[in-house]
Structure 1
Amino acid sequence: MTLQSARRIAGDKQFLTSAAAHAGITAGAAAFAGAALCGATALFLSEALNAGSGTSGPGSSGMQFADQLWRMFLLLTSLPFSGRLEAGFETIGGFVSTGDEGFTLGVWPLASLACVVLASLLGAYLLERRHPQRSGGMRAGAAAAAGAAFAVLMLLVAVPGVRFDAPGAVATVSALGPALAPFSFATVFASGWLGRSLATRKRLEVGPTRRPRGPLAHELASLATDLGIYAGALSLTGAVLGTVTLVVVFVQTGAQSALLPMLLAGAPHAGFWALILAHLGAVTVTAPYTALQGISVLSPDLPFAWISVLPVVLASLGSALVIGVGRSRTRTPDLAKIWRLPAAVFVLWMVGSLVFLPVTLSGSATVLGFTLGELELAARPAFWTPALFAVWALGVELGAWALPDRARALTPRAHAVAIRIRTQLGGSRSPASMEWAGTAPVALPSASASASASASPHQTSSLPEPRHESAGPQPQPMTARTKRRLRIVGVCTTVAVLVVTASAIAITSVNTQRGAVAKVREYVEAIAAGDATHAGELVDPNVETSQRDYVSDAMLASATERITVLDVVETELSPAAPTTSWFEEPAQESHGSGRETRNVQVTYRLGGTTESTVLAVERIENEFFVLETWRVVTPLVFESVAGTSHAMDFTIGAVAAAPGPVETLTWEGSQPVSWVPFSAYPAIYPVSGTESTFYSVASEPVRVGPVEAEHVPDRNLVYTPTDALTEAVDAAVTAMIDECVLSTDAAPDGCPFDTYVYGADTPLSWQVTSYPDVSVSTTSDRFEVEDGLASFSYTGSSGRTSTGSSPIRTTGTFTVVGGTVTIEFS
């Protein structure tokens, strides 16, 4: 074996060992990230199951639980490189099925992915420093070999999937996807190649020993440095904003400590979305059967989110200053290069907003043979997000040109800090940085020039002037007048920023008082105060013209008790469907204006009990462009009925009501009743009957509010006949009978007695033998006549006189008009 072949074998062995070690480090990091994500998911599911069923612990045997946990670990280990979970669900008999494609959850666990990328980068860096490869091709080959091995490993890990078996149903979850293998390879290859390249990069040197860079390499390195400075500033800002967002969500939702790991797993998404909102961008939310909604710092749900814009502005100004001190001064922006940073930012955010940041859940299902159609629940950045960040990057480029001069004049300390940061990032003092610091190096004479100068002492030696990259004359130092003007401009800018900030705070505070909750509170407090006129101005009661008196000031003023408002909060519940009538099925109500709507829950106390209802509120055009305006859509009006036992006029609150005929068959069995439907604001209203000599009245107030499905209303007025009514009916019956006996007919019309004689024209003579007993119904306007006797006599055609009798027995109705009782026999 020759020395050359031995070196080749040793190099190949070192190559394979380094690639295998790199793949092993990356696989270990992926396993760690998968275990962390699996633990967070297990805690989250355990908390959800405990809250839903009140039980804890696995429902299957220990072996089955361990197998499912292992499969879940493998699934979540491969998820960061697949970016999707495909789930299917089916019940026995196919009552519920997700079909062949099932549902797809699209999400990239950025925290797990970042852990693997950093481990791969650091591992490749350390391996290259310890066992360097012979050439750049060998370094790329080692990274490619590690990436290929890792991609195969991820395919093997994702194959098993997870299967959940339950009585009568089965569910499957898999992370296999078309992006799994290529993305796994690309991630490890790119991070490994970058780590190995960083390990072999030489320190910057000044002098002829360093091989000069080409123009393209120099421009790419400059762009990478500027992009790194800007990205680093935004990363720090996003980390701060994401942390604040997680803390606010954790506190406001009252989440328990078991849910904290899941929140931490979603921290990168929270940071990126907060960064998008802070750049005046938007996050769009799509839900089934609802319109597309956008969330921004101007959304009513985020009253103080606009404050997040300030850190982004400061980060942009700081990065612009650091970038600017590393460049040579020019009179005008370099239009040939100003587009590079915005273009790079646009490309990066295009990839991020389209691939890594969206969280989607889509698919279709079949229930009882009916297809629900394509369903999608998603949260993603707005489509114009890349262009928005490109505009901000363009502002950073302009700031990099304009800020250094102003910063050196106004805040020399900040300018010096920027130079120090740029020097540290560059690894040495760059000529541009030293130019800004006023310490530009002077070119030293070469050795031959020194010798020549020694040989010719009378020859004047001159030192070359410093070379500057900028074209044209160098700017002169600023005069005191210029500095004073810059200070005035700075003061004016500061005042303008303070005015804008104060205006934003004032507008936010005013909009908080003008929001959906505030508008509903104003509405219900008007009802509670008895101001029906103001309540009607805020939202029309939406009742018929004949019912308008029931939603008037007089009606609310007559209430014995009005509502006491306890709480008004925004909710995700939907308003209850209104009813077209008290006895009819609910009718579906929809608000299809396409405007932004909010549902607000109102909780109030009435009659010692607490009730809640949900009102819909709609956002209309702003006043003065910035002041929010909301309109209540759902009126706080309920349908109710008042019942009476007799068809006599009565009063509901302050409104006179005329009942219809009394029904003898009702929900209350044999209790007759006449219902009067009406619509009114929630309250307890008195019901007053007609007092008279003939009736005593028992009344109950009517309560207007939400009605349960099985509710049966009670009669509010029950009339009880008095002895005077019985005597009056008895007298009317006696008078009617006395009038009937004056008739000569065998069957007097409308009389309670009759007989039959031969010969239709035979006259009869009637007389009362005994008057009947009269009993009056206590539940209706009817009476009964019995135990009376009427006798008759007549002379037949033969001249013979015949006699007989007929019982007086019948029923009838009576009517009370004022103080007079009239009767009618049936």
Structure 2
Amino acid sequence: MESVLCFRCGGDVPADQQWCGCCAAPVVTVPAPIPPVPTSPAAPAAPLPGPSLTFASGPFSVRPKRTAPIIAAVAVLALVAGVLALGAARYAGNSPEAVAEDYFDALAHGDVTAALGLMAAADMFRDTARYPLLTGAALAEERYRPRDPRVGDATETAAGIGGRGWRVPVSYRAADRTVDQNVLVIDSGGGYRLQAPLVLLGVDGERGRAVTVNGVALGRSRNAYAFPGAYEVVAAGNTLLAESRLTTVAQRAEVPVTGQTVYLAPARFDVPQLAGGAQENIRGQALTALDRCATSTEAQPAGCPFGLNIPGTGATVRWTITAYPVVSVRSDSSFWFTSSAVQLADDGTGRVHWSARYTDYTGAAKAQSGDSAFRIYGSAQATPNGIQVSLT
């Protein structure tokens, strides 16, 4: 049976093994010892066989070195070592993929401090007044956090600022949806850091109502940066409009001019419903406003839906409403959609009787009367003191 000689430590191992049991190096096969040729007693003893022995002539022969298996084994060893090194670097946080994994792992645990620590220029994002959603409160509940993140292989890109950059694809679950989001990792000189791995949330259709995202108040801002995850957006109800709520996640978009990829979370509310009792309140105020208009003696009462063009001076008018219109509210009006007000409308049945006395341009006293139809135009708006109705 052939013996196996380790090229590194020289140890013999069984021929069916490809690695040295002592040093784990690849081995080379050598032949079994050749029986010595009979010689005279004075002849020198035969030397031991070995891979380094060569003779120009004589009774001994050595099998040539098997260099091809050695080279192949070393190549495999180098490849395995490289793969292990890359895996160790990723596991230890020394790769773009590892930084992305650590970031989403921190978010999954609600650890905002750790997440910010992995971002480039993190100090600017610690201003909670400017970035209210980059706080622990916005990730207080697990349903707001990204889940089951899967990080793909990084691709080097020229988009890095201040050094090399890598685009790392990440897929995660949020609000029972799968979200695909690329994050940018840069070599900041002090290690790998994420370049603004955030989502821009934009609110529309709140109609003057106070807005919260994951329970955090947005204040007067309609746009805010947020960590990746799910966003429960609520427009609080008031005396005029009922509460509206929705849940949104990040969506990929491109800036039209630059073609830059950004991630937006659109939060556009549908047409709001009126708050309970608001319709009756508005109708009552509208009828009260009409009665107030009827007490005027002017030809053009201010803030009233009816009036006369008198061809003279010194006019006094007596108004009597003979038919009140049915007032309704149009919260779906596109003209008012971005406003906190709602538009008033009617059914066109309003009528008023008038009696006017005036002096015409010749100096003669005149008296006239008649009936006119009128339409209501106006708005209703929520104020700290309740609903305010204005007629025009």
By the TM > 0.5 criterion, same fold?
yes
Contact kept, 8 Å, 2:162 with 2:188, in 1: the verdict is no
Q: CA deviation at 1:803?
A: 1.5
Q: Structure 2 counterpart of 1:777, which letter?
A: R
Q: CA deviation at 1:553?
A: 0.7
Q: Percent identity?
A: 20
Superposed, 1:626-645 pairs within 5 Å as: 630-644=191-205
Instruction: Show CA shifts across 1:623-664 (max 9, x none).
Output: xxxxxx63223333112323325232221223323569xxxx
Higher strand share: 2
**Residue 240 in structure 1 maps to residue 73 in structure 2:** yes
Q: How many residue pairs were aligned?
A: 306
Which whole-Å CA distance do the structure 2 matches of 1:653 and 1:237 have between them? 62
Q: 1:747 to 1:724 in 2, by over 3 A?
A: same
1:548 aligns with: 131
1:415 aligns with: none
Q: 1:803 to 1:565 in 2, by over 3 A?
A: same
Which whole-Å CA distance do the structure 2 matches of 1:723 and 1:749 have between them? 31
Q: 1:746 to 1:509 in 2, by over 3 A?
A: closer
**Residue 707 in structure 1 maps to residue 252 in structure 2:** yes
Contact kept, 8 Å, 2:169 with 2:180, in 1: the verdict is yes
Which whole-Å CA distance do the structure 2 matches of 1:739 and 1:572 have between them? 72
Which whole-Å CA distance do the structure 1 matches of 2:151 and 2:375 have between them? 66
Q: 1:697 to 1:594 in 2, by over 3 A?
A: closer
Which whole-Å CA distance do the structure 1 matches of 2:245 and 2:279 have between them? 22
Contact kept, 8 Å, 1:569 with 1:602, in 2: the verdict is yes
Q: CA deviation at 1:714?
A: 6.1
2:355 aligns with: 793
Match of 1:563 among 117, 139, 146: 146
2:114 aligns with: 534
Question: What residue ranges of structure 2 are gaps of 5+ in the alignment?
Answer: 1-55, 59-64, 257-263, 334-341
Q: CA deviation at 1:543?
A: 5.9
**Residue 518 in structure 1 maps to residue 80 in structure 2:** no
Question: What residue ranges of structure 1 are gaps of 5+ in the alignment?
Answer: 1-202, 206-231, 249-296, 306-507, 575-588, 622-628, 661-675
3-state SS of 2:105 partner: helix
**Residue 601 in structure 1 maps to residue 162 in structure 2:** no
2:382 aligns with: 816
Which whole-Å CA distance do the structure 1 matches of 2:281 and 2:223 have between them? 33
Q: CA deviation at 1:536?
A: 1.0
* TM-score, L = length of structure 2: 0.65
Which whole-Å CA distance do the structure 2 matches of 1:729 and 1:235 have between them? 94
Contact kept, 8 Å, 1:519 with 1:632, in 2: the verdict is yes
Q: 1:748 to 1:701 in 2, by over 3 A?
A: same
**Residue 757 in structure 1 maps to residue 303 in structure 2:** no
3-state SS of 1:720 partner: coil
Which whole-Å CA distance do the structure 1 matches of 2:182 and 2:144 have between them? 21
Match of 1:774 among 315, 327, 341: 327
Q: CA deviation at 1:571?
A: 2.9
**Once superposed, what is the RMSD of the aligned Cα atoms?**
3.7
Q: 1:646 to 1:544 in 2, by over 3 A?
A: farther
Superposed, 1:27-426 pairs within 5 Å as: 238-244=71-77, 303-304=84-85
Q: CA deviation at 1:510?
A: 8.0
Instruction: Show CA shifts across 1:256-276 (max 9, x none).
Output: xxxxxxxxxxxxxxxxxxxxx
Which whole-Å CA distance do the structure 2 matches of 1:682 and 1:824 have between them? 44
Contact kept, 8 Å, 2:330 with 2:343, in 1: the verdict is yes
Which whole-Å CA distance do the structure 1 matches of 2:266 and 2:182 have between them? 23
Q: CA deviation at 1:813?
A: 1.2
Match of 1:807 among 360, 370, 373: 373
Q: CA deviation at 1:744?
A: 2.3
Instruction: Show CA shifts across 1:153-196 (max 9, x none).
Output: xxxxxxxxxxxxxxxxxxxxxxxxxxxxxxxxxxxxxxxxxxxx
Contact kept, 8 Å, 2:90 with 2:98, in 1: the verdict is no
Q: 1:594 to 1:642 in 2, by over 3 A?
A: closer
Which whole-Å CA distance do the structure 1 matches of 2:388 and 2:231 have between them? 33
> Of the two, which has the highest radius of gyration?
1
Which whole-Å CA distance do the structure 2 matches of 1:657 and 1:245 have between them? 55
Q: 1:816 to 1:593 in 2, by over 3 A?
A: closer
2:52 aligns with: none
* TM-score, L = length of structure 1: 0.33
Higher helix share: 1
Q: 1:685 to 1:743 in 2, by over 3 A?
A: same
Q: 1:615 to 1:799 in 2, by over 3 A?
A: closer
Q: Structure 1 counterpart of 2:302, which letter?
A: D
Q: CA deviation at 1:680?
A: 0.8
Which whole-Å CA distance do the structure 2 matches of 1:533 and 1:717 have between them? 35
**Residue 691 in structure 1 maps to residue 237 in structure 2:** yes
Contact kept, 8 Å, 2:213 with 2:231, in 1: the verdict is yes
Q: CA deviation at 1:529?
A: 1.1
3-state SS of 2:131 partner: helix
Which whole-Å CA distance do the structure 1 matches of 2:322 and 2:233 have between them? 47
Q: 1:777 to 1:512 in 2, by over 3 A?
A: closer
Which whole-Å CA distance do the structure 2 matches of 1:691 and 1:677 have between them? 20
3-state SS of 2:273 partner: strand
Q: 1:732 to 1:544 in 2, by over 3 A?
A: farther
Q: Structure 1 counterpart of 2:225, which letter?
A: S
**Residue 655 in structure 1 maps to residue 201 in structure 2:** no
